[in-house]
Each structure stands twice: as C-alpha cells, then as structure tokens.
Structure 1
C-alpha cells in the first residue's frame, strides 16, 4: 500500500486543526443560542463571544482550502452565529414620551478596593454628575469621598464593608436611603432620589463575578437583581454599577427583561464598548459596567472614562426623565 502523500497529510492536518478551532466557539455560541450560562468555563468564555468569530473564521478558511464541505458548513454556521450575536441586545430606544421633567447625569465607577478614589473625586468634580454609584469602596474610600465631595454631594446611601464589599451612592439631589439588597455577598445600597417633580428608585448593582466554583452564587445574585427589577417595574428606576456580566449572559438579559430596563450604553450606540479589564496587556473587551434605566428615561449620551489605578472604566450617562413611559 502506498504511503499517504505529503499533500494528503497536510490536508488532513488542516481539517483536524479546523475542527479543533471550532470546539470552543461551537460550545459557547450554542449556549448563547439556548439562553443558558451553563457551567465553568462557559460564563467566562461568553464574555469573549464576539472574539470567537476569529477562530471560527480561520476554521472556515481551512475547511474551504481542503474542500471539506461538512466542516465548512459547520464552521460557517458557527461564524454566522458569533457575528449575529454581536448585535446589541434589546430595542434601540425607550418608549419614553411626553415633556422632559428633569435632566440627570449618572456616573458608575468601580474603584478596585478603593485604589482609584482620588481619581474618581477628580472625575466627579470635572463631570458634575447628579448621581454617583461607586463599587468596591471600603470605609477609607467612603471617608475620602465625603472629604473630597461632601460640599457638592451632601446626600448618600452606603454599605460600610472592607475590600470589594463596600459600596456608595452619592447624590447632589436629595436621597432617602433604602436598605441594602439582602442576601448578597457585596453591598448593593439603594435609595429614593428626588428628581424633578417625582421620585426615582435607584440601586447599585455589584453581584459576585462568575469565578470557577462560584457560578451558582453569581447566577443567584443576578437573580436577586432580576427580582428587584421586576418588583419595581412600572416606576422610574436606575440600576447601575459593576454587574460582572455582559449582554451575552442569560442571567444579565433576564434582569433587563424582567424589569423592562434598557442598557444606556446600548441606547447611546456603545453596546460593545469594553469596560473591563482596563490597564492590562489587552484593551478592555467586556462591557460589564452598566447603567440600566426604566422606560421613563431617554438617553442623550454615554461615555466611558479611563480612571487610573482601577481595572474598570467608569460609565457616564446623560438621561432625560419624561412625564410618561
């Protein structure tokens, strides 16, 4: 029997390589299609979903080069799904109608264990938001914010805790603090904000990240945010912070859907702008920091700000509150 030719071996190796390239994109896009976050490492890889079009595209090219139609169809299908899911999730606008009763600027920032507190103070004084949502703000961070911003932000709600569990909401407008969201690992303070002629329910979001071994906890805490959103459906709501989830995670999409909330960055045309990880060898690739608003608001603009000494980009959003949704 004649030995396989070099070209035959090369075609076989190319086909095997293409198949291997498709394993992870197939599993992840399949979970996205089925609406499940599954188990480790799926939630972590879902944050990379748009980038999975690269290995799928390489696999398609390889399959075409070696003329493997079944392999090419598989690669083409996975590539099509990966590209389809890069589209922003949800409607392109809110149904807010009627006259504008108030204008509001909101800033959400994770200061990474309080490291970027000074930089946040400078950004707040420069940008002048009406509401500031600060994640990973320990007691020292909270004191520094009070010293640096107390003259302009006399109102607040906070959870005093060490490390990443501490959180603060600051208000230039009157705030009535509400109890922190119960049953969570990290603090999620809330308040009722007096905005224009009425009240707005505000809540800081900071569920546990989807670390290996903690996927169930991550899903449960996003479920608590989903329940909060559902319970306040019908009234003006702002839910902002570090969600540790992107639009490709089913648990995050359930928060949007249950409360009829809208992602402000998506409405401003920045749905795929990365907010994490900042300051690494690669640019931010996952948008896990969000400002979610109810149908009472329209979005005038959204910008991501680079704050030194934190691994998150801050999100600044300009909102209009309308008379009716």
Structure 2
C-alpha cells in the first residue's frame, strides 16, 4: 500500500490528467475568428452571386432581384467585403470565389450598347429635356430648367392637373405651341404626362399603359421623327410582371420604327442592368446619355448624393442621332433629376 501511495503521491503530478477542455481551448481558440470570417464571406458572396446569376442569364428574375439590379454597381461593396473576409479566414476557395464575383460585377458595370457615330451629314439639332415632377411637385423647378436650357422637346411625367395648368400659364403656346398629353385622373396624379414642343407635332397613337405615355411625330426641319414618352410602372413587389410588360410595349414601339428616326424619353424605371431595358435598346435605339459620356450618372433618387443612385431616366434615339452636352439637373421637390441633352440628327448615307 505504501508503494502504491508513494507512486500516487510522487508520480501523481507527472501523470495527473490535464484539466478537461484545455486542449480544445488551445486548438480551437485561434480558429474561431477564421471560421466566423469564412462563414461571413460565404453568406456575402452567395447573396451577390445569386443576383449576378440572373444578370448572367439575361433575366430580371423575381422580387427582390429587379430592385437590387437597379443598383448593381454597389454590389462591389458586399463582394469586396466577402473577399476580404475570405482572406482573413484563410479560405482559399472563398478567395477565388470573391475574385470571380468582383470581376463579374466590374464587367457588367461597363456601359451597354454601341457608340458608333452616324455616317451621314448632320441636318438638324434638338435640345431634349425629360423630367418626372413627382405628382406635379417639381413643376416650378421644371419651368425654371426649361427657361434656362431652352429645349425643343420637353417630356414631363407625373404631371397632375395643377402641373398641366401651370405649364400652360408659365410656358405659353407662344413658346411651346405644340403639345401632346394624357390627362391625369382625379384619383392618380402619376397618370398625367405631357410633351411640349417648339417643332410641329403630328398626332400619333401613344402606348396603352397604366401611366400616361403619349406619342407624336415631330417635324424637325422637314425630317419626320417619331417621339414617344416613356413611363412604365416601377418594378414594385407583386407588379414586376406589369413592369416587364410595359417595358415590352416600349420595345415593340422601338422595333416598329423600321429605320425611321425615333426618340423615346422619360422615366423608364429601369437601368441598363435590367434585361427588359436592354431589350428596348436591342430593338434599334441607343441610350444617348452614354453617347454623351454620362452612362451611369444617377437620376434617382435625387436626395442621394452622387454617385449614389441609379440612372432610370433616359433619352433613347435611333442610330441616326449623335448626342452631346448631357446634364442631369436638380430641379427640387421631386425624387428625380431631370435630364437635358442635345441630339444631332444625321441624314442617312446614300448608297449607289
């Protein structure tokens, strides 16, 4: 018993088991931050990848994908954060994933569509202005912008009865003798839309849509130009299908031009990152803000400081137009910036 006791006493310290959990603590403690970083990277990169998957597939998907696609350039933020967390977590697959995702976002930030210059001689010049005045609230600011910019064509969205009356009073027919309009219903100020013109307008059918989208044919120094105001419904939850359908009507209008000079201007509630908007461009028109060097200047929401926001207000034109002097204007009391741009009409090249 003594030998046993001595062995216990003398050798007990040497053979005593380590306190429970010590080994786990030593091995696991350094790994926990890395593991958490890897998990965070996976979640961020998975979210960005889900949205990019629809962009790669040339689809707008379903809510919330269309809403997020409007701000696609800002996916750089979670993508960069995901890559950084993968590096901190020493997650090699995540690092590769992050690099690929960042590359795709950067690739799709490039402006969409061609910028080939018209080949014929320049025959006419038009200053065009489009503005969503948000239920008429920005009308007074729009009037000030019109007086300063002196546009030949003015496209006004969400122009209620008070807006239409103020435009008649402050911009009389002596200045803008030609008009095409869809009157706002008493219950919905957003339905009203007006086209004002210094050049003669011939009546033409507009597009049948939820909000007013009037159209006309302008006589620009003897050259007929089809003009159409755009204001499809926004891609709100539960009405993405309606938004896609009304952008489809604008695509059909562009495609029906048959090579005739065409201008489509207004609040498209869509950016170049939406497949439904790219389909409009592919039907034979170009985004003139890109031609003028401002492809991603934000127009909504106006309260967001540049470069935050999305460019959803556009002036589209057929390839016989060049463009310059694009300006996005703060007019006040509306959530949109107005867009003013100069278009130069070129005569088609003659073949012998």
Question: Could you say whether these structures have the same fold, taking a TM-score greater than 0.5 normalized by the shorter chain as the test?
Answer: yes
Pairing 1:37–2:63 present: no
Structure 1: distance between partners of 2:100 and 2:112 = 20
CA drift at 1:221:
0.4
Q: 2:204 aligns with which of 161, 178, 196?
A: 178
CA drift at 1:282:
7.9
Q: 1:132 aligns with which of 154, 157, 168?
A: 154
Structure 1: distance between partners of 2:337 and 2:263 = 19
Structure 1: distance between partners of 2:35 and 2:308 = 37
CA drift at 1:196:
1.5
CA drift at 1:177:
2.5
CA drift at 1:57:
1.0
CA drift at 1:197:
2.1
CA drift at 1:280:
4.5
Structure 2: distance between partners of 1:211 and 1:282 = 24
Secondary structure in 2 matching 1:31: helix
Pairing 1:218–2:243 present: yes
Secondary structure in 2 matching 1:303: strand
Pairing 1:169–2:195 present: yes
1:33-63 deviations in whole A, cap 9, x for unaligned? 1100000000000011101011111111221
Q: Is the 8 A contact 1:157 1:178 kept in 2?
A: no
Structure 1: distance between partners of 2:156 and 2:282 = 24
Structure 2: distance between partners of 1:284 and 1:276 = 9
- Alpha carbons of 1:274 and 1:63: their partners in 2 closer, same or farther (altered >3 Å)? same
Residue 6 (structure 1) aligns with: 29
Structure 1: distance between partners of 2:121 and 2:69 = 40
Residue 90 (structure 1) aligns with: 113
Structure 1: distance between partners of 2:281 and 2:109 = 17
Structure 2: distance between partners of 1:273 and 1:280 = 12
Residue 147 (structure 1) aligns with: 169
Structure 2: distance between partners of 1:233 and 1:28 = 35
Structure 2: distance between partners of 1:120 and 1:66 = 53
Residue 93 (structure 2) aligns with: 70
Output aligned runs, 1:51-66, within 5 Å.
51-66=74-89
Question: When the two structures are superposed, what TM-score results if normalisation uses the length of structure 2?
Answer: 0.89
Q: Is the 8 A contact 2:232 2:268 kept in 1?
A: yes
Q: 2:44 aligns with which of 15, 18, 21?
A: 21
Pairing 1:292–2:330 present: no
Structure 2: distance between partners of 1:166 and 1:178 = 17
Secondary structure in 2 matching 1:301: strand
Point out the structure with max Rg over C-alpha.
2
Residue 269 (structure 1) aligns with: 293
RMSD (CA atoms): 1.4
Question: When the two structures are superposed, what TM-score results if normalisation uses the length of structure 1?
Answer: 0.96
1:241-290 deviations in whole A, cap 9, x for unaligned? 000000000000000101x1110111111111100001257864100000
Q: Is the 8 A contact 2:297 2:307 kept in 1?
A: no
Structure 1: distance between partners of 2:240 and 2:164 = 29
Q: Is the 8 A contact 1:275 1:284 kept in 2?
A: no
Q: Is the 8 A contact 2:204 2:215 kept in 1?
A: yes
Residue 209 (structure 1) aligns with: 234
Q: Is the 8 A contact 1:190 1:204 kept in 2?
A: yes
CA drift at 1:97:
1.9
Secondary structure in 2 matching 1:200: strand
Structure 2: distance between partners of 1:234 and 1:282 = 36
Secondary structure in 1 matching 2:190: helix
Name structure 2 gaps, 5 residues minimum: 1-20
Q: Give the number of aligned pairs.
A: 322
Residue 311 (structure 1) aligns with: 335
Residue 17 (structure 2) aligns with: none
